Structure 1
Amino acid sequence: MFKFLCFCTAGFLLLSSAVLRGQASDGYTPISLNDLSAFDAPPQGWKLTPEIMMNPTNGTVMSTDKKGGGILVGTTGQTIKTKAAMQDLRLRFDFMLSPGAQAAVVLPGNQRIVLADGPLTAAPGASTSGYTGQFPIMNATKAPGLWQTIEIAYDASTTQPNMARVNSITLNGSRVQQGSYLPLSKTLTGKESIAFTVNKGTVAFRNIGYQELANRKPLTIENLTYKLYSDQWDTENPTKLDREGPAAALTQEIAAGMKEFQLVFAGNMVVSEAGLYTFEVAESGPNTVLTVDGKVVMKLSGTTSQDKHTAQTQLSEGKHDFSLFYARFPWRAPALGVSVYKSGVRPYDLTALSSLPVPPPKPYIGVDPENGTEMLRSFIQYQDEKAKRTHALSVGNPAGWHYTMDLNRGALLQAWRGPFADVTEMWYERGEPQLLETAGLTVLVSGKSSYAPLNDLSAAWPDSANLKYLGYRLNANGVPTLRYAFGNATLADQFTADAQGLTRKISIEGSGPSGMYALLGAGDAITMVEKGLYRIDDRYYVRVDKNARVTQRSSAGKQELLLPLGGTTTYSLFW
């Protein structure tokens, strides 16, 4: 049973509808849930509904009386199988669990991937979502009643006899399995269906899509030429042409022996299958630019990690002019790798294998609050903002619930559950980015100031409030309380954590501005699950006192949840 800080059983129910992804945008072939015709002899225990309701506190599950489909709902009983059959595949779908529910998706070769409630289980085990016969790397399961997304890359046929390979499983944005070989429980003679089975409780599915994977190469390169310049690495328009000519392969090794160079390739991409192509680039250098038909597909600046970067472009059948620009840092070894794939096609290299040498191993540097609260100052790259948040404080708690505050704005940026912080980009070598990466299941919050005065409830919530950061104080357990000045008033903001989630306490002393509010959540949809319990999109829950004067409103195309401040105000978050 999932436990919360404040347990309640009566009240309203959460309503979620089918939100459908389009096939064209991501290359997945959808399994239609408009009716059950996509399934082979569907058992009676499975049904379709346009909406589903689950109360995470008492386990009540209800579907709407409205007719239609979009959501597949299963209860304990028989297995449902798709008519579509395949071997090697990518599979993606959303699922929602009732409290205590457990299900599995069965892949070709009878490999089972567990889907199970249990977000409060610290150590992953055999009943943790993502279990395949091998424990997942981490527990990335969300709370019951929230839609979750799983992406699976799987090879039923491998070069290893009687073995299947789970290339990756990504759950709610966190990688939980990577490159694991599993023994086939039965001989695979051809393509097989995908199956879903529910072992306990109720489980809902939506947006089921798949890609069959093949080894063909629908995009090739011809008429390749190069120009090699000896200008300094940061020259914007190189002019010192060292040499040029036809190129046998895409490789930075053309400049072998040069410590500093800029290299430009040009040629044709020959496309035999129209579609959306994804390019992956891994490199070390100051600038890399990929252009197709005069359009910049990808532009990278100042990367040294050889991490993969992706970009997509739609290509028609036929020839397409392309260019690839690459420059080398004189103090680092050159590295350039480009690969491509599309729906139904495995990634394959366009560059020579030797153009992207194996980098020296980079250690993982992590911080975990095993013996007490940990606090880290860092930069934070928040969503798609161009500038980093430079005054961020991340706080880790031994209970496994953590958060980041923008101290300048008094803004809660993100919160997460599980391992605390990946500080490799801060502490390894020069640590130039100074970026802290969350190491657990992360939810993004609004990024706006958490408290502000409003003249009336129709006033827009400001990105930043007129506040002054005064510093923080630590209690006996090392838990910080942030302090801000609002006029003549002092505001104190403290998060505490236990096994069930984060609790936030905001206190105001003195005579400050009138009409002070706290922003508890903002999103596309805020739903009252029961009195005092709200769901913010499918990201997290907010719990307040049942008698609190909460305001739910629409503003600037979003929904917001506000709570008036005065004296001491408390609310909780969990996911």
Structure 2
Amino acid sequence: MFSKTKILWACLAIGLPICTVSAQTTQLRLADFSNNKGSWSEVGDAWANPLGAQQIQSSGQGTILVNQPAKKKPGMDLVSNEKFGDAEVTLVYMMAPGSNSGLYLQGQYEIQLLDSWTTTDPKAGDNGGIYERWDESKPDGQKGYQGYAPRQNATKAPGTWQELKVLFKAPKFSASGEKIANARIESVVLNGVLIHEDVELFGPTRGALPGGEVAEGPIRIQGDHGPVAIQSLTVKPMDTPAPTFSAINYEVYPGSFEEMPSASSLTAANKGTISDFDEFSTGLTQESLAKLETKVSIKKAGNYTFLMSVPNGLGSLQIGTGGAATLQRGIKVEKQLEAGEYPVTIWVSKPRDWTTEGFSLSVEGDTMWSTEYSNPAGSFEGWPTDPILVDTEQDPVLRSFIEVPDAKKISHGISVSSPFGTSYSYDLNSNELIRVWRGGFLDATPMWNSRGNGVSRPLGAVTELSKGEELFYNASYAPLADDLKSKGYEILGPGALEFKAVNESGTEFKDRIQVIDSGKGIERSISYSAFPAGTLVKVAPGQELVEMGDGLYWVKDSGLFLSVGEKVKPVAQNGAIYLPASSTVTYRLLF
């Protein structure tokens, strides 16, 4: 087992690094994998037309891996020479239209890679699914079993870079080689969406490498089912042992404390020693303040984060000789620690006789699993609320506040679903399309739980389009303020709305948006006769356009595909994509 983060084709943008490889990482090239000939090559750029043939185009020399099987170059699986145990695996990949591949953890457990672009009911064999196990001795229709479908289809269009992040725990074996714990998928996140959580793997999936389950095994990329490109594959070993705490000495002081007192003013009501934080009890039914002293043993040098919270009370946490962190209810202490022992002092209050006794304490590290050491007795305020998800059959269109990154909350937002799992949000004030996404519709927990704050949040793989800025711009790309006043909207059908507004002169503005082609994207048609000469309409963020032919453009940095008439020429300027305005502006966004 290695102790450093390994980077397999790490940190690439298209032809340029997207992050700096530190001295603690190792970069592997194609030569570091077996079966690396034939259909595999390293290129500087890769792209695919989502509406075209099952192929990936490429150019130049670089560190993007491309698999392009052909009759004279049959597809081959890649198998890493390095072997891994517990790990965080992050893959950035591109599928060709209709293509198929797979990421095998330890060569045994497959996470499916597939063009599942418009799938509405994903199965274990769809993109991000944990593939089935297989038993040839069973009757037809029963041979496949123990596969796990993703919670929702967070797949993006073929030809778009997608990110798959897997937290994996390897199976464990006794000294005699007997398996004593199954492998587990702690989580799988596809394009920012959690699609699996806490899945036990009872054995290898179909097509696993021979030899069976192992404590450490290679990463394998399926290469015989179709074209795929890999921008980066990083494997970070989760091999740092969790810290341990020695015997804990405690003292308990009666009284209700709203701030930390002087230690010299306190008289202990009782004291003792325990071996575990969860053994702690104040011995008092009324209000109290407790002091706990122990030592934490760090097994491996690194950056550690200590998280502590006290339900309804006051807490203080000191690690080592530095100052104590004292906060009402929540404490976070980050420390760069060498291997060794460090003194720990914890203060925790029970401010009312009816409040929960105890506290929560956990530790996280860059290459260690988050570990809990203490939890309060019973429930306490702050436990998560069951999510309140919007039923699209009951509420296919929902008005709400909309939060956007690094900008003011949108107060007059509306979100629209479709039967295809494709959704969008619109700002009635700015007449701007705010975001599009694929997957689940909305989480309305912030809006409807308790008093609520009016906010709903998208559930799927989101592409942000606007923060509610102006829709119209002049030839110098300066925003043009308009005097449009919203007149509401009309529902035209599933996923289709027409938004209406008028200017001070009474000229009507119509903005029709509808989900298209089994959910491949949206079509927008803006009708307005009062555009000043030279007006531009901003349609999406982006800095680089790649022309694909037939009026289709790839917006490289956002992953969108923009489809316009062949005579219309979009422009990328100042981090955005613009179209020339006429009495009617029509375009499609595929994602």
Deviation at 1:477, TM superposition (A): 3.3
1:365 aligns with 2:388: yes
Residues 134-166 of structure 1 deviation map (CA, whole Å, 9 limit, x = unaligned):
222111111111111111122231598574222
Note if contact 2:402-2:456 (Cα within 8 Å) is conserved in structure 1: yes
Deviation at 1:533, TM superposition (A): 2.1
Match of 1:139 among 153, 157, 160: 153
Deviation at 1:91, TM superposition (A): 1.0
Match of 2:396 among 368, 374, 389: 374
Deviation at 1:433, TM superposition (A): 3.8
Aligned partners of 1:262, 1:243: CA distance in 2, in Å? 10
Residues 287-307 of structure 1 deviation map (CA, whole Å, 9 limit, x = unaligned):
989887879999899x9xxxx
Match for residue 185 of structure 2? 166
Moved more, 262-271 or 479-488: 262-271
Match of 1:474 among 490, 514, 520: 490
Compared CA separation, residues 431 and 92, structure 1 to 2 (3 A) = farther
Match for residue 560 of structure 1? 576
Aligned partners of 1:380, 1:84: CA distance in 2, in Å? 46
When Rg is computed on C-alpha atoms for both structures, the one with the higher figure is 2
Match for residue 144 of structure 2? none
Aligned partners of 2:287, 2:453: CA distance in 1, in Å? 23
Compared CA separation, residues 398 and 286, structure 1 to 2 (3 A) = farther
Deviation at 1:318, TM superposition (A): 6.5
Aligned partners of 1:402, 1:287: CA distance in 2, in Å? 44
Residues 295-331 of structure 1 deviation map (CA, whole Å, 9 limit, x = unaligned):
9999899x9xxxxx99976555667898889889989
Match for residue 166 of structure 2? 152
Note if contact 2:396-2:417 (Cα within 8 Å) is conserved in structure 1: yes
Alignment of 1:15-94 (within 5 A): 16-17=14-15, 19-22=17-20, 31-33=27-29, 36-40=30-34, 42-59=36-53, 60-64=55-59, 66-73=60-67, 75=69, 77-94=75-92
Aligned partners of 1:257, 1:494: CA distance in 2, in Å? 66
Count residues in correspondence: 533
Deviation at 1:127, TM superposition (A): 3.1
Match for residue 418 of structure 2? 397
The amino acid that maps onto 1:368 is D
Compared CA separation, residues 352 and 572, structure 1 to 2 (3 A) = same
The amino acid that maps onto 1:61 is I
Note if contact 2:525-2:584 (Cα within 8 Å) is conserved in structure 1: yes
Match of 1:491 among 496, 509, 521: 509
TM-score by length of 1: 0.77
Deviation at 1:207, TM superposition (A): 2.2
Residues 86-132 of structure 1 deviation map (CA, whole Å, 9 limit, x = unaligned):
23222112111111110011122611111001210111024311222
Match for residue 6 of structure 2? none
1:447 aligns with 2:447: no
Secondary structure of the structure 1 residue equivalent to 2:452: coil
Alignment of 1:200-239 (within 5 A): 200-214=225-239, 216-218=241-243, 230=256
Alignment of 1:300-319 (within 5 A): 314-315=336-337
Note if contact 1:276-1:342 (Cα within 8 Å) is conserved in structure 2: yes
Deviation at 1:202, TM superposition (A): 0.9
Residues 395-426 of structure 1 deviation map (CA, whole Å, 9 limit, x = unaligned):
22233221122333333322111221121232
Match of 2:536 among 517, 522, 538: 517
Note if contact 1:101-1:199 (Cα within 8 Å) is conserved in structure 2: no
Secondary structure of the structure 1 residue equivalent to 2:62: coil
Compared CA separation, residues 201 and 243, structure 1 to 2 (3 A) = farther
Compared CA separation, residues 82 and 476, structure 1 to 2 (3 A) = closer
Compared CA separation, residues 191 and 230, structure 1 to 2 (3 A) = same
Residues 370-409 of structure 1 deviation map (CA, whole Å, 9 limit, x = unaligned):
37x7222223332244x53333221222332211223333
Match for residue 5 of structure 1? none
Aligned partners of 2:290, 2:452: CA distance in 1, in Å? 26
Secondary structure of the structure 1 residue equivalent to 2:400: strand
Residues 441-475 of structure 1 deviation map (CA, whole Å, 9 limit, x = unaligned):
22122314251242x3253x48xx44454231324
Moved more, 149-158 or 480-489: 480-489
The amino acid that maps onto 1:439 is L
Note if contact 1:222-1:269 (Cα within 8 Å) is conserved in structure 2: no
Deviation at 1:213, TM superposition (A): 2.8
Match for residue 439 of structure 2? 418
Deviation at 1:562, TM superposition (A): 0.7
Note if contact 2:543-2:572 (Cα within 8 Å) is conserved in structure 1: no
Please report the RMSD computed on the Cα atoms of aligned residues, expressed in angstroms.
Answer: 4.3
Q: Which runs of 5+ in 2 are unaligned?
A: 1-12, 133-146, 174-178, 205-210
Note if contact 2:90-2:235 (Cα within 8 Å) is conserved in structure 1: yes
Aligned partners of 2:537, 2:342: CA distance in 1, in Å? 54
Match for residue 434 of structure 1? 454
Aligned partners of 1:513, 1:297: CA distance in 2, in Å? 59
Secondary structure of the structure 1 residue equivalent to 2:562: strand
Alignment of 1:217-366 (within 5 A): 217-218=242-243, 230=256, 271-278=298-305, 314-315=336-337, 336-349=359-372, 351-354=373-376, 357=379, 362-366=385-389
Note if contact 1:97-1:204 (Cα within 8 Å) is conserved in structure 2: yes
The amino acid that maps onto 1:483 is K
Alignment of 1:187-198 (within 5 A): 187-198=212-223
Note if contact 1:453-1:513 (Cα within 8 Å) is conserved in structure 2: no
Aligned partners of 1:188, 1:493: CA distance in 2, in Å? 57
Secondary structure of the structure 1 residue equivalent to 2:446: helix
Match for residue 141 of structure 2? none
Compared CA separation, residues 273 and 216, structure 1 to 2 (3 A) = closer
Note if contact 2:185-2:201 (Cα within 8 Å) is conserved in structure 1: yes
Match for residue 548 of structure 2? 529
Compared CA separation, residues 240 and 205, structure 1 to 2 (3 A) = same
Note if contact 2:396-2:418 (Cα within 8 Å) is conserved in structure 1: yes
Note if contact 1:252-1:263 (Cα within 8 Å) is conserved in structure 2: no
Compared CA separation, residues 240 and 316, structure 1 to 2 (3 A) = closer
Compared CA separation, residues 263 and 437, structure 1 to 2 (3 A) = farther
Deviation at 1:24, TM superposition (A): 5.3
Deviation at 1:262, TM superposition (A): 9.3
Q: Which runs of 5+ in 1 are unaligned?
A: 1-14, 304-308
The amino acid that maps onto 2:499 is L
Note if contact 1:61-1:98 (Cα within 8 Å) is conserved in structure 2: yes
Aligned partners of 2:580, 2:351: CA distance in 1, in Å? 54
Deviation at 1:23, TM superposition (A): 5.4
